[in-house]
Structure formats: structure tokens, C-alpha cells
Amino acid sequence: MNIPASNHPRVVIVGGGFAGLQLAKSLVGQSVQVVLLDQHNYHAFQPLFYQVATAGLEPGSIAYPFRKIFSASRQVYFRMGRVERIDLIAKKITADIGELTFDYVVIATGATTNFFGNKNMERLAMPMKSVSEALNIRSLMLQNLEKALLTNDPNDKDSLMGIVIVGGGPTGVELAGAIAELKRDILPKDYPDLDMRVMDIHLIDSNARVLKEFDEKSSAVAMEELLKMGVDLRLNERVTDYDGKVISCQSGEVLPAAMVIWAAGVKANIPSGVPDAAMSGGRIAVNAFNQLPDFPSAFAIGDVAVMVNEDYPRGHPMVAQPAIQQGKLLSKNLIALLQGRTMSPFIYKNLGSMATIGRNKAVVEFPRFKMKGWWAWCLWLFVHVFQLIGFRNKLIVMVSWAQNYLRHARDLRLIIRPFKQSS
């Protein structure tokens, strides 16, 4: 990978998501050589993928080039590549762009969509774990409406105008709300010849409520708002099969839907080379220092790692906050390790959770109090703009949101690269 030799120990970070990026940033200026490897040349802000998918934001507004982040840090090297194998004994990484030895490796490969073995879903449903996938959803949604205009067959029309979102976590709720707003504010004007009553937005979850990680009251608020916005909520329901036109449910119900968005689950993205013995429940088992117990020079942080303790018997939630906090702490622990000091155990500080359902509507839960409605929505906006990297992205997102809000606009309904089913 053409990384120059250094007097400092080499830390290779695999993956530039919330965890890996935070670690790399926190190691800037320290006496280590950092190599950050990611398959993309940018960090993408996942919490806003749903806005890219629903024509509210441009992809460039929520993505930021790694090289710009580290342009002033001569000891941080970025390489764009896909990891193929990590040899924890030989301390060597193999990627599609070459090999690299390391003194320490930090696995921060995050999570990918979990279809739970359903092959038809994997082939035909739309995941949303990358910027490209979010753009695919935007394209397919618009392509289906264009096709619906061309048919007089009511079954085809039902299918082309049907959208099923599987999974009622924050992603599913936010998507359902944003699509319902498109249906209400934008699509009737865009497609006056389509009867928008035919367009059904189904949100399916196997639990008795959406946002199951939230308090029951927050779930109730979200469900009430979604119902008001015309979303068809189907709880205690599972999907069993999909043929590209009709989705089958466990209850026996079949729903016509040419687009199924899969937001039902994630699984850790485990690089080849991590031995089975180092795994627990599909994630990499780490000690309180995010260290692999049998490989002291290897660490795992974020979604890919599972750190079990009394408070979190099944590990921390696979969301941004633990990832960021683990990245930050690990930077200190690595320096401690190099200086012969003792490392500090990770203690998760739950800063709360939030989800927006739509215009002026959100739920926010802090450890000590809860919010909903307009104030919660303002806080949601503020926190998300604040977390974006870079002045330009913050500015453009604020301007875009102001325009979207004041003018009820979603001007990015563009099919720039048509979605082509790969099957």
C-alpha cells in the first residue's frame, strides 16, 4: 500500500465510520503512524441517508472526503481499499490494493444489512447502508411512479405505487414519515394523473410497537403521528417472501409493492481472518479496552465489537454513540499502552436517542427526561447539523432544510442514475 516506514508504531484502522473516524481524528498529533483504510474516499453520515433517499438532501451534503479531514496531519495516511483478510498472528492486512503489516490493528468495519438468510429479500429488497443505496431508493421510487403512469392494469398500478418498509426502528420510522410527506406535499402535484389514494406506505415490524428501543410513550407518539400521516402500520407482523411485485407476510396477508425497503436489521461486518473463537453472537468479542483477549495488538470498536458487562449483557447498541465514545477512548488507551501506562475501561455514557417522524415532529429521549413535538424536532435538527463534518455540509444542509421547510419542497427528485435490479 506504499505506506512509508516510520519510527513510530503503525496503527491500521479498518473502516472510517463513526468509530474509525473518531479514533483516527483523536490520534492526530500523537506519536503513532495511522493508516485509515476505507472502501470509500469519504465519511458518510448515516443518520441522514433517509433524507437522501427521499430527495431532501444531496448525497454530497452528508459525505465528507477523508483526505480533507486529515490534510494537515502528516502522520495519518488514508488508503481507499477493501479489506480482504486480516492476519492477526502475522500482523498483516491484505486488501484489494495490497498488503500492509501493522503493530496494532483496529477493526472498525461496522455493520451491514442483515436479511436473516432470506435470499429473495436480499435479491429484491432495497437496503440503505450506503450513499449509493440511498440514491438507489430515490431512483427506484421515482421510476416506479413514472411506470405507474403508463399502465392501466390496476394490479400493476397497486404494485408500482406500493411501498413496504420492513423494520420500525428509527430508520424505518424516519423513512416512512418522509415518504408520507412526499406523498402528501409533492407527488399529487407531480403526478396529477395518478390517484394518490392508491399509493400505500406500509411499515411492518415484528414487535408490538415501533421504536422499541425507546420508551413506550415515545413509541405511542411516533405511531400516532405515522397513522395521522397515512402510514399503514403493521405490528406483530413478519414478512416471509417477496417476488419483486408482491410481499407475503406471516399473517397470510399479501401486499402489492414494487419497492420494499429493508430496515429490519444489521449484522456486524466481520473481516475474513478473525477466528471464530474471537466472536460472540456474530460480533467480535472484546474486553473493556476494546481489545481482543487473545490478540493484544488487535482491537475492535463500534458496531463490529461486542463488549459484555453487567449493564450491557448483550453488548452496547449498534448505533453511533458507543462507536464514537469507543473511538475516542481507544486513542487514549493506545497511547497509554505505548507509554507503558494502564488502559482505562470503557464506560458507555448514554447521551440519549432521537428520531424524527416528519415536519415539526420528533421524539427525543435523554436519560433524565423526554421530549416530543416541535421542540424535540428543533433539537433533532440542531444535533444533526452540528454532527455533520465541515462548514460546507453544515451550511448547505441548513439552507436545504430551510428551503424544504418553508416551501414544502423536495427538489432533488432526480433519477440521475436509474436503478437497475441486478438480478
Binding site for its own copies (CB under 8 A): 1-2, 4, 40-42, 58-61, 63-65, 67-68, 71-72, 74, 77, 79-80, 97-98, 131-132, 135, 142, 146, 149-152, 189-193, 390-393, 395-396, 399-400, 403, 407, 409, 411-417
**Cβ distance to its own copies smaller for residue 60 or 373:** 60
If phi > 0 it is left, if psi is from -120 to 50 it is alpha, else beta; for residue 230 that is left
Cell digits of residue 253? 396477508
Question: Distance of CA 319 to CAs 92, 195, 220, 316, Å?
Answer: 29, 39, 22, 8
How many CA atoms within 13 Å lie on the side-chain side of 126?
Answer: 29
Contacting residues for 400 by C-beta, under 8 A, at least 6 apart: 56, 57, 58, 61
Query: Cβ-count burial of 407 within 10 angstroms (0-12 exposed, 13-18 middle, 19+ buried)?
Result: exposed
Report the distance separating Cα 264 and Cα 118, nearest Å. 12
Q: Which is nearer to its own copies, 347 or 395 (CB)?
A: 395
Residue closer to its own copies by CB (options 130, 350) is: 130
Distance in Å, CB of 123 to its own copies, minimum: 20
User: Least Å distance between CB 153 and its own copies?
Assistant: 11
Helix (H, G, I), strand (E, B) or coil at 104: strand
Least distance to its own copies from the beta carbon of 60, Å? 4
Radius of gyration of the chain from its Cα atoms, rounded to whole angstroms: 22
Q: Which is nearer to its own copies, 153 or 276 (CB)?
A: 153
Toward its own copies, which CB reaches closer, 91 or 410? 410
Amino acid at 152: N
* Residue with grid cell 406535499, as numbered in its chain: 185
CB of 239 to its own copies, least distance (A): 29
**Cβ at position 80, least distance to its own copies in Å:** 5
CB-side neighbour CA atoms (13 Å) of 343: 21
Least Å from the CB of residue 149 to its own copies: 6
Q: Is 168 left (phi over 0), alpha (psi -120 to 50) or beta?
A: alpha
**Shortest distance, position 172 Cβ to its own copies, whole Å:** 24
Q: For residues 74 and 368, which CB has a smaller minimum distance to its own copies in the complex?
A: 74
Could you tell me where the beta strands, DSSP code E, fall in 328-390?
Answer: 353-358, 361-365, 370-372
Nearer to its own copies, 97 or 385 (CB): 97
